[in-house]
Chain A
Amino acid sequence: MKAVRSLLDKLYTVPQLARFKPVIGAADAILYGTNETTHAAPHVVDNIDIKRYMSLVIVALLPAVAAAFFLFGWRVIAIIMVSYMAGGAVEVIFAIIRKHDIHEGFLITGLIFPLVLPPTTPLWVVAVGVVFGTMFGKEMFGGTGRNIFNPALVGRLFITIAFPAIMTMNWQTPFASGPEAITTATPLTTFKSTAQTSTINPSVVEAGTEQVLFTNAGAVKKATQNPQSEFAGVQVYCMGDAAYEKAAHHRRIEEGKASRLVSYGDLLIGKEPGSMGETCRLAILAGGLLLIGLRVSNWRIPVSYMTTVFIFAAVGSHFLPAKIAPPMFQVLAGGLLFGAMFMATDPITSPFTKAGKYIFGISCGVLTVLIRSFSGYVEGVMFSIVIMNAFTPLIDQMVLMFKYRPVKA
């Protein structure tokens, strides 16, 4: 270790490298911590600075990275490396032009960004996205701590709009490779397309029906108990294992005609296609709970976000089963868990007041379900977080206004 220390000290004094001082400084701070002390109150006695604080987030992301590697193979590592190199280059260029230290936020952006991409994303698209996200999501506003939007989401948003074919049509089935592993549908897409062509939760299956979609076990029971139901030749799709179990072995439904649209267990362990880091929900939960346990991120946003999605979906799917997917599915599918745990909780772009955090989470939840159900896009997590990022300063301002009203004389 002493050799590294003396090497760093020597590098500081080399005149030719003076321009690259930010790079050396960043390596120094990551390896040895910092001697800088806070200039203004409040003072907390701790030798942690943002670089080290952020490295805890990296640790929390590791389970998701490991799961992605396990599910999708070496390509994951290649995409992460491209993201770090392209985004890091932008970061270093701005640090040198603006003559400041390298901002540590990039360590996280560079890792979160690849995790929200489909595993088949071409590498040059990854580079375009991360460069755009770092420039327009962060540097344009003045760098880490001044950005309004989450830079990783800005990058993802840009390439989603720029290359819709690449970003929405090429997904990969986990544990598989080769051309047959490419699928055009994630569970959310499957639900949307099946719901459009099927009769949903009918209380009576009338003769001549071709496709039926049951979103819960209760609906299966209701339809099969009705003596007027006619199941001959009807293709039955079920959401979740409970409904499937009921339908698969029911005497009135023809053998082999019942199929499972989605298994909640598979969603949890990551066997369904999706973005690299969002599929293995168990790994995300582990990382997210670690962050909440260490008080690095706050529980209020993820909890209020996911609770809102659950409640809204439960009420909505009761009245509008064709449009709004059932609650368990909404919570487990897509990028909700990853978004709620790692992106909505970004301390820079989310409110700092307690009430503000609840407002942020609830609004994100409502928007997510609305976008998933009623827009042309199948996934709404990214959009809803970016939209609420824009409202964050307003929310904080209003909370403070109501809380600290000037005393009337």
Chain B
Amino acid sequence: MSTKQLFDGEDRKILKTGYTREHPIFVVGLGICSALAVSNKVENAIAMGVGVTFVLIATAVIISSLRSLIPQRARIITYMIAIASFVIIVQKFLDAFTPAISEALGPYVALIITNCIIMGRAEAFYVTRSVRHSVIDAVGNGIGYSYTLIAIAAIREVLGFGTLLGFQVTPDGWEKWVVMSMAPGAFFLLGTAIWISRAITERSSGEEEGE
């Protein structure tokens, strides 16, 4: 009984929704700009995924606990203040401990502030729901965003640089796919991923309706 209270069916549903039915990139179409920009190497993708997940969770805590105090008219600016504070923490952390990654990510860490996933979830979910559900939702969305980013980055890094996490995985004489290290490569991969995921969802939902 106690374990069930700790993580009940609704919690599980909220968590799963974040990376399946309401996948931020594939279904809702949020956070695509950063997904295109930083998915060129796996280590950048991991750093970005962790950063965004951290900011999501922290924002979820702040916004949902303050939800009764946030005035309706000034809510966006409130989200911005909360998000910006946490983004600066992430940025300073990366600057201090992993300067190489910080440099590779460039302005995109600072741009987490305007990442639509965080703004979107804050507006759609955290401002009306309990802290507990908000945090679970943040984790779910963080997982969805991170695994997509890492999967795309893995393909791009192998094809575009011949490496994976910096280690060479392709044979010598590998012809690098220059396009994969540029933004268009991310467009094609992300587009294909969305195409496939939509086709699968449509097919399965069509079958459900048929039954």
Q: How far is the CA of A161 from the CA of B160 in the complex (A)?
A: 12
Q: How far is the CA of A397 from the CA of B178 in the complex (A)?
A: 37
A164 and B178 contacting across the interface, CB-CB below 8 Å:
yes
Q: Across the interface, which residues of A come within 8 angstroms of B179, CB to CB?
A: 158, 161-162
A163 and B184 contacting across the interface, CB-CB below 8 Å:
no
Q: How far is the CA of A163 from the CA of B176 in the complex (A)?
A: 7
Q: Which B-chain residue is minimally distant from A164 (CB atoms)?
A: B178
Is B195's CB within 8 Å of the partner chain A? yes
A136 and B188 contacting across the interface, CB-CB below 8 Å:
yes
A161 and B195 contacting across the interface, CB-CB below 8 Å:
no
A163 and B188 contacting across the interface, CB-CB below 8 Å:
no
Q: Across the interface, which residues of A come within 8 angstroms of B109, CB to CB?
A: none
- Which of B175, B178, B191, B192 contacts A161, CB < 8 Å? B178
A163 and B195 contacting across the interface, CB-CB below 8 Å:
no
Question: A-B pairs with CB below 8 Å: how many?
Answer: 24
Is A140's CB within 8 Å of the partner chain B? yes
The interface residues of chain B, by DSSP majority, are classed as: helix
Q: Which A-chain residue is minimally distant from B195 (CB atoms)?
A: A140
A166 and B178 contacting across the interface, CB-CB below 8 Å:
no
Is B14's CB within 8 Å of the partner chain A? no
Q: Across the interface, which residues of B come within 8 angstroms of A125, CB to CB?
A: 175
Q: How far is the CA of A164 from the CA of B182 in the complex (A)?
A: 13
Q: How far is the CA of A161 from the CA of B179 in the complex (A)?
A: 6
Q: Across the interface, which residues of B come within 8 angstroms of A136, CB to CB?
A: 188, 191
Quick one: which of B93-110 are within 8 Å of A by CB? none
Q: How far is the CA of A390 from the CA of B17 in the complex (A)?
A: 37
B175 and A166 contacting across the interface, CB-CB below 8 Å:
yes
Is B177's CB within 8 Å of the partner chain A? yes
- Which of B177, B182, B185, B191 contacts A163, CB < 8 Å? B177
Question: Smallest distance from the beta carbon of B152 to chain A beta carbons, Å?
Answer: 16
Quick one: which of A290-340 are within 8 Å of B by CB? none
Q: How far is the CA of A340 from the CA of B113 in the complex (A)?
A: 49
Q: Which A-chain residue is minimally distant from B199 (CB atoms)?
A: A97
B188 and A161 contacting across the interface, CB-CB below 8 Å:
no
A162 and B195 contacting across the interface, CB-CB below 8 Å:
no
Q: How far is the CA of A133 from the CA of B10 in the complex (A)?
A: 45
Q: How far is the CA of A25 from the CA of B188 in the complex (A)?
A: 32
Q: How far is the CA of A125 from the CA of B176 in the complex (A)?
A: 12
Question: Smallest distance from the beta carbon of B48 to chain A beta carbons, Å?
Answer: 24
Is B180's CB within 8 Å of the partner chain A? yes
Between-chain CB contacts (< 8 Å), 20 pairs: A122-B175, A125-B175, A132-B188, A136-B188, A140-B191, A140-B195, A161-B178, A161-B179, A161-B182, A161-B184, A162-B177, A162-B179, A162-B180, A162-B185, A163-B175, A163-B177, A163-B178, A164-B178, A165-B175, A166-B175
**7 extra interface residue pairs, beta carbon distance < 8 Å, beyond A122-B175, A136-B191, A165-B175:** A140-B191, A140-B195, A158-B179, A161-B182, A162-B178, A162-B179, A164-B178
